[in-house]
Amino acid sequence: MPALLRLRRLSADEAREIARLTRARAAPVRLVARARVIAVAQQGRRLPDVAAELGVSVAMVRRWVSRFNAHGLAGLDDAPRSGRPATYPPAAVGELLAASLSDPQALGLPFASWTLDRLTAYLNEEKAIPIKRSRIAEILQAEGLRWRQEPWFGERPDPAFAEKRGPSSPSTPLPRRTAS
C-alpha cells in the first residue's frame, strides 16, 4: 500500500494563484487541470476521492500533489523533456532570415535575386552556416515567407523580360483575344 500523501499547507499567495488558475480561460489546459487537483486536495480530501471527483487517475493526483509539495507553483509547470536539441541555433536562423530579406547586390553579390541554391551557397561560404537547401525552404515557409513572392527571391530585375524572351515555345498556343 502506498504511503499516505497529503497536500502541504498553502501560503496565501499560492492559494490565490491556485484559485485564479482554476478559473482561468487563457491558461494552458494542463496547468488548469493541475491547479484543480491542488484546489480539491486543499479541501482535505483523500487522493482517491480527488481523482474520482476530477475524473483522473490516482497516479496523476499523486504526481501533482508530490510535485506541488516539493516545488510549489513551479512544480505544476511542465518539466524539461529529453529530445533532440534544435539543429540550428536561433542566431543562425536569424542570419538566414536577414540574408533572405536583403538585396543580394547590397551585400556585394553579382546577382539581383536570390534562389535557394544561391542562398545556400551564401550562408555556407560567407556566413559559415552549414545548412541544406531543403532546410532553408522549411525555415522560410515556417516563418511565413514564400521565396518566390518576397522582393529578393526570384523576382526578375528586368520589367520587360517577358517581351524580350518571346513565346515560351512554338507549340504553346497564344491566348485567344476577346472582343471588348
Q: Is 159 helix (H, G, I), strand (E, B) or coil?
A: coil
- Look at residue 27 and tell me whether its pLDDT is greater than 60: yes
Which of 77, 111, 116, 79 lies closest to 96 in space, CA to CA? 116
**How many Å apart are CA 118 and CA 124, to the nearest integer?**
10
| β partners of residue 153 | 114
Label residue 139 left, alpha or beta by phi (over 0 means left) and psi (-120 to 50 means alpha): alpha
The predicted model gives 57-64 an average pLDDT of: 95
Give the CATH number of domain 12-76.
1.10.10
Instruction: Look up residue 6 and give its three cell numbers.
Output: 497529503
The per-residue pLDDT of the chain, averaged, comes to: 85
3-state helix, strand, coil in the chain (%, to 5): 50, 0, 50
Instruction: Look up residue 132 and give its three cell numbers.
Output: 541544406
Residue 154 per-residue DSSP state: S
**How many Å apart are CA 50 and CA 38, to the nearest integer?**
9
- Look at residue 178 and tell me whether its pLDDT is greater than 90: no
Q: Residue 59: pLDDT band by 50, 70, 90 thresholds?
A: very high
Question: Please, what is the Cα angle at 11 between 9 and 16, to 5 degrees?
Answer: 115
Q: Residue 30: pLDDT band by 50, 70, 90 thresholds?
A: very high
Instruction: State pTM to two decimals.
Output: 0.49
Q: What is the pLDDT of residues 71-80, one digit of tens each?
A: 999 999 988 8
CA 104 to chain centre: 28
Could you identify the residue written with the cell 499523486? 62
Q: What is the pLDDT of residues 90-148, one digit of tens each?
A: 899 999 999 988 888 888 988 888 888 899 999 999 999 999 999 998 898 888 877 66
**How many Å apart are CA 160 and CA 38, to the nearest integer?**
70
- Beta carbons within 10 angstroms of residue 70's beta carbon: 10
Q: Residue 22: pLDDT band by 50, 70, 90 thresholds?
A: very high
Percentage of the chain modeled with pLDDT above 70: 85
So where are the chain's domains?
12-76, 90-159
* pLDDT for the residue numbered 82: 84
Pick the more confident residue, 164 or 140.
140
Task: Return the amino acid letter for 131.
Answer: I
